[in-house]
Structure 1
Amino acid sequence: MALPLLTVSSRPIDMIINDHSIRYIEMKPGNPPLPLRWGERYLPPGVVKEGKIIDANTLSVILDECIDIWKIRRRKVRFLAPDPYVTIRKITIPTDVLDSEITGYLYLEMGSTIHLPFEDPVIDYLALPEKEDKREILLFAANRQYVMQFSDLFADLKLKPEAADLSSLALYRLYDLLRKKKAEEKILVLQFDLDLVVMSIFENEIPFFMRHHYLPYNEKDWDIYIGRSGFQQLSFIGDEEELNEHFTEAFKEINKLIEFYQFSLHQGKNEISKIVLVGDHPLLETVRNQLHTRFEIEVEILDVNKLETEKNKPLPRSHYLAFGLALKEV
């Protein structure tokens, strides 16, 4: 999703800021591009909450330190619109609207024929194949206020915001890069993070639905240590019964989306063929096993270890989302 900002010529940095961390990746151009450098910094609780910057001063100080350590000052940066403030809608538009007029038409219809859960959106769209004199587009919209929070933060620290993207699109790009066989399929891309689950259904490479569910997160339930890779790792030390309850609630939301898609929309004719699982949750293998048991659907955890990286260092799973973001213009 392009922002109305200046384009600059330096090689971009791809950065993810969520409620508990700042992560970046720098790619070496190629086909496919090669992960060159990456980094991570955990955030104190309450600095970012549910995608909103709560303590701008603290975040600015921490990010400024990261920029110096990672030596990325004055670089272009691509980032993600916060998932809780993103929506995807299929919209029918008049057949006489020219391609060059679609964006203007969408803004004109906001609040009248097009209703979003927030005002003043940043939008992008994908034109769908025309059929039976019916013209449809897929509208991607994000709350401008929260997108610009991050854009302004980067600009204040002498980074150059280039574009904002959606996490679901970034992860699908990575999946598409990794999959061996290209085939028509209906998949659920499931981003299972420490504090947020993002669910996106793709039909033959086109995203039609996106939902999110919060996971309660308390840093006191996790032991944070430095692993062999030099990155911080988490080990659960809290109440396992409580954790299982949180997982169960998440699985209920996943089931609701699957049932809505398969039965309410398609009367049982369209089935999800695969769940693609990715995320920074330390118990992702446990999540995979429970998903397979509950839904009897193939579950694939994305694994980029078959791809090359600089000096063949393993890319942490926590940075897969940034990798997908870096594929935006490949």
Structure 2
Amino acid sequence: MVFSLFSSKNRIINLVLNDHSIRYVELKQSNPPAAQKWGERFLTPGIIEDGKIVDIDSLTNILEECVDDWKIHRRSIRFIVPDQLVIIRKVNVPAEIQDDELMGYLYLELGSTIHLPFEEPVFDFYPLGDNGKTKELLLFAAPEQNVMEYSHLFSSVKLKPVAADISPLSLYRLYHKLELAEENETLFTIQFALTSVNLSIFEGAVPVVMRPFALPFNIEKWDIKRDHFGLAKCKYTGDTNELAGQFGDIFREISKLIDYYRYTLNHENHDITKFLLTGDHPMLQAIEDDLKERFGLPVGRITLAMNSTEKMENIPDQLLLPLGLALKEVK
């Protein structure tokens, strides 16, 4: 649906990079979704910051090691465009613009009637409606320079980028595949990661608003080990009041976004019906409890069983996003 920059391939590796990790999943089957292979490499601060590559040499070396360790040389990949780079915005265009002319029209209007906080974007759109005078579109955009920097990085380590996506859509794809979506729901998704939080609101299957926020992260206050899945297991060793303060800030941002949706975007016609909480933060259960207490709304989680060491366990939260990415364009 979004950022369809390249043609699709089979047996695609699904890669997610953020400020603190590189993760991949290879899909075994799509119904129910199951991971055949996966891996994770923890990143020290200063290599990627706010979704932007800061230390390209270190990142290239680390990714080369990952490609070797995971044995994914010359494989086609999908990747997630970091949340901090993505803008979602509703725009209106004249109704007489034909569907096959919309992309060209948007290119012409960028910078004149359509303003974005960056030049030369890569973008896609989703039609929302047509009232006879105007067509309403949902525009997804990111700076082309940053997106292509990731693409060139992958190519430099002998990977073949074939598609890009955004994280809320990938997670919703998994949520929908598992038949968790409810009729007429307005879903508020919260991706609570170790170094960032991404808030999105879905009307049906369409994300109409998205807000990313950075979380302060001092690696010296975290104990980081590997679990039996080979994934990072993080435990906070600092003052828990600091974390409580971070969570409080995010809860206030959630409240602001609910009000913005209710009174600005939606003219009080709809309200949030449910939260969906995901992410790799080790305190998700405490966050879920606080959400329920503060907002009085149901909080959904994605749980998916896998067979590990001859017993059933839930797929780790770190793998849900790349697993949702793996469902992109799966027929």
Please give the TM-score of this superposition, normalised by the length of structure 2. Answer: 0.94
Aligned position for 1:90: 90
Contact kept? 1:77, 1:163, Cα under 8 Å? yes
Which one-letter code corresponds to 2:242 in the other structure? E
Distance 1:252 1:2, change over 3 A: closer
Aligned position for 1:207: 207
Instruction: List per-residue Cα deviations over 1:82-140 (Å, max 9, x = no partner).
Output: 21111111111111111111111101000011011111100111112323543111111
Aligned position for 2:27: 27
Which one-letter code corresponds to 2:96 in the other structure? D
Which one-letter code corresponds to 2:129 in the other structure? P
| Unaligned 5+ runs, structure 1 | none
Contact kept? 1:51, 1:82, Cα under 8 Å? yes
The separation in 1 between residues aligned to 2:244 and 2:81, in whole angstroms, is: 29
RMSD of the alignment, in Å? 1.9
Instruction: List per-residue Cα deviations over 1:199-243 (Å, max 9, x = no partner).
Output: 110111111101111110111111111223332200110111111
The separation in 2 between residues aligned to 1:123 and 1:165, in whole angstroms, is: 11
Contact kept? 1:48, 1:55, Cα under 8 Å? yes
Which one-letter code corresponds to 1:285 in the other structure? Q
Which one-letter code corresponds to 1:98 in the other structure? Q
- For residue 29 of structure 1, report the CA deviation from its aligned partner: 4.2
After TM superposition, the structure 1 = structure 2 runs for residues 81-160 of structure 1, keeping only pairs within 5 Å, are: 81-160=81-160
Instruction: List per-residue Cα deviations over 1:150-199 (Å, max 9, x = no partner).
Output: 10000011100111111111111111112346411101011111111111
Aligned length: 328
* Residue 329 (structure 1) aligned with residue 315 (structure 2): no
| Unaligned 5+ runs, structure 2 | none
The separation in 2 between residues aligned to 1:12 and 1:86, in whole angstroms, is: 23
Distance 1:185 1:20, change over 3 A: same
Higher strand share: 2
Aligned position for 1:198: 198
The separation in 1 between residues aligned to 2:149 and 2:118, in whole angstroms, is: 15
Distance 1:269 1:243, change over 3 A: same
Aligned position for 1:187: 187
Contact kept? 2:76, 2:161, Cα under 8 Å? yes
Contact kept? 2:9, 2:162, Cα under 8 Å? no
Where 2:198 maps in the other structure, the secondary structure is strand
Contact kept? 1:213, 1:253, Cα under 8 Å? no
Where 1:129 maps in the other structure, the secondary structure is strand
Aligned position for 1:272: 272
The separation in 2 between residues aligned to 1:296 and 1:13, in whole angstroms, is: 39
Contact kept? 1:262, 1:270, Cα under 8 Å? yes
Aligned position for 1:71: 71
Please give the TM-score of this superposition, normalised by the length of structure 1. Answer: 0.94
The separation in 2 between residues aligned to 1:150 and 1:303, in whole angstroms, is: 30
The separation in 2 between residues aligned to 1:80 and 1:197, in whole angstroms, is: 15
Aligned position for 2:301: 301
Instruction: List per-residue Cα deviations over 1:247-275 (Å, max 9, x = no partner).
Output: 11111111100011113333443110000
Contact kept? 2:195, 2:216, Cα under 8 Å? yes
Aligned position for 2:282: 282
Which one-letter code corresponds to 2:115 in the other structure? H
Moved more, 269-278 or 229-238: 229-238
Contact kept? 1:200, 1:207, Cα under 8 Å? yes
Contact kept? 1:288, 1:301, Cα under 8 Å? no
Distance 1:116 1:91, change over 3 A: same
Where 1:287 maps in the other structure, the secondary structure is helix
The separation in 1 between residues aligned to 2:211 and 2:9, in whole angstroms, is: 35
The separation in 1 between residues aligned to 2:16 and 2:293, in whole angstroms, is: 32
Contact kept? 1:34, 1:308, Cα under 8 Å? no
Distance 1:52 1:236, change over 3 A: same
* Residue 45 (structure 1) aligned with residue 32 (structure 2): no
